[in-house]
């Protein structure tokens, strides 16, 4: 009998070594660069400090994955906003919480 698992463990997402630099280049080229570049740099710095403390790259990978997702979905968000969708009938969660009290 073997002590090895009978299934292959799920490999966590690991970006390419140059992914953070490439991502920063893409963020700088985006129209939201004034807000996004400092936010990315702040999150990256925090994840880097955590990585030094914990000896884990998971936080760095997460920052890259999150920002890649933001960039990938930005055109869809822009199109939604430009469509003029009226969300005035949306539910205000804070208002609902106030009613329950």
Does the model's pTM come out above 0.75?
no
> What's the per-residue H, E or C state across 34-83?
HHHHHHHHHHHHHHHHHHHHHCCCHHHHHHHHHHHHHHHHHHHHHHHHHC
Over residues 59-85, the mean pLDDT reads 91
Average pLDDT over the chain reads 85
Q: What's the rounded Cα separation, in Å, for the pair 83 and 28? A: 26
Q: What's the rounded Cα separation, in Å, for the pair 40 and 71? A: 12
Over residues 34-53, the mean pLDDT reads 96
Q: Taking 90 as the threshold, does the pLDDT of residue 66 lie above it?
A: yes
Q: How many CB atoms within 10 Å of residue 80?
A: 12
Query: What pLDDT score does 28 carry?
Result: 96
Query: What pLDDT score does 5 carry?
Result: 58
């Amino acid at each position: 009998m073997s002590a090895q698992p009978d299934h292959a463990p799920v490999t966590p997402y690991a970006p390419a070594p140059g992914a953070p630099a490439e991502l920063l280049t893409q963020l700088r080229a985006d129209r939201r660069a004034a807000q996004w570049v400092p936010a990315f740099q702040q999150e990256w710095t925090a994840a880097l400090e955590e990585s030094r403390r914990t000896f884990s790259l998971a936080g760095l990978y997460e920052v890259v994955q999150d920002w890649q997702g933001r960039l990938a979905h930005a055109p869809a968000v822009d199109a939604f906003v430009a469509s003029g969708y009226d969300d005035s009938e949306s539910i205000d969660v804070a208002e609902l919480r106030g009613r329950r009290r």
